[in-house]
Amino acid sequence: MYRGQLVKFDVELTTASLKLWDGKEWLWHEVAIKAVRHRHRLGTVKSPTLVLNRHCHLAVPVQLNPQRLPEGQKACAVDVGISTLATASIVTPGGTIAARGFFHPAAEIDRRDKRAALIRRKARKTAKLSKGFGRAWYRKAKHINENTAQQTSRKLVDCALARGADVIVLENLKGWRPKGGRRRSGLRQRFHQWLHRRLATLIEQKMAKVGGRVVYVHARGTSAWAFDGSGRVKRDTTQYERATFRSGKRYNADLNASYNIGARYWAWNHKLTRRKDGQLSAGRSSPGKPRMPVTLSTLWQREPEAPHRCKA
């Protein structure tokens, strides 16, 4: 729909005039613009598209030109998990944790899981599942998931901006497929309803709107290695979100992973490593520096006055 020929907007962008064919002639019809987020007031309105999908509505793209946020000394590292939807920590280049937080809308996730449990119970009592079985329950669970992703992504972006972070660091989980849990089990169903990709997409969109950035780092080993450089961690069999370090210290595994995610970003930013797999570069000779993954302790070694600096 070319602007000026088939669609016209008023000065305040509250109504739009569409030139539509009524079977006899082309006439102008006025429709109201839905005032959601007022995004049309933030940029340049482009040529819209008339969408027909059960209902008729106008999709109006808006070109936004936000100012780039100044590069700061803080990064918001986010670990997306199953037990806790998102765990964020504000990491500085020296390895200091300025803030941290857990984002887990338990009530919404319980509502979604109740629909999934209802589908499983009905499926066990049904000999042969027909096409479209549980369509209404699946649709409800999908809408709950979408609302959860929208609300959580907004809270994460607001948390990063409020603490002066211009970049959000995420694990690169694109193409990852779940393998845990038996077929048709509750765990397998939770993996398939995991919001790791949807959450990342929404965070990218919201950060681009305010002029921020989203950076992805290699995911392998962020949860398996302790942030203090003591080595691999042991996960609790009953409470998988708990991790035990070699020193005997017990720590939250998601927090540990978020620290290492932020450390990998700063290590790459300061060229401590050029490797894409999150490991330190090896020495030129074979008995050189071992290829250890980057953890938060890697940043401590750069700071002579760091309180937790690892001694050689």
Torsion of CA 272, 274, 279, 285, to 10 degrees: -90
CATH number for the domain spanning 186: value is 3.30.420.140
Residue 138 shares a structural domain with residue 245: yes
Element (H, E) at 87: strand 86-91
Residues 154 and 83 in one domain: yes
Q: HSE-up of 166 (CA within 13 Å, CB side)?
A: 8
User: Is residue 279 one of the residues assigned to a domain?
Assistant: no
Residue 63 CB contacts under 8 Å (≥ 6 apart), including other chains = 43, 44, 46
pLDDT recorded at residue 117: 85
**pLDDT per position as a tens digit, 136-188:** 888 998 899 999 999 999 999 999 999 999 999 999 888 766 665 566 565 66
58 and 83 share a domain?
no
Q: Are residues 201 and 125 part of one domain?
A: yes
Q: Answer yes or no: do 98 and 234 share one domain.
A: yes
Domain co-membership, 228 together with 105: yes
At 278, the pLDDT band (50, 70, 90 cuts) reads: low
Same domain, 254 and 110: yes
Count of domains forming the chain: 2
Question: What's the CA gap between 141 and 110, in Å, rounded?
Answer: 10
pLDDT band at 46 (very low <50, low <70, confident <90, very high): confident
Asked if residue 84 belongs to a domain, the reply is yes
Binned at pLDDT 50, 70 and 90, residue 276 comes out as low
Cβ proximity of 63 and 46 under 8 Å: yes
Q: Name residue 220's amino acid.
A: R
d(Cα 171, Cα 220) in Å, to the nearest integer?
9
Which CA distances in Å does 302 have to 93, 259, 283, 305, 308? 9, 16, 18, 9, 11
Question: Is 0.85 surpassed by the pTM of this model?
Answer: no
Whole domain around residue 49: which residue ranges?
7-63
For the chain, give the mean pLDDT: 82
Instruction: Please say which residue of 263, 283, 298 terminates a domain.
Output: 263
Inside any domain, residue 199: yes
Based on the fold, state whether residues 83 and 221 are members of the same structural domain. yes
- Looking at the fold, whether 245 and 97 belong to one and the same domain comes out as yes
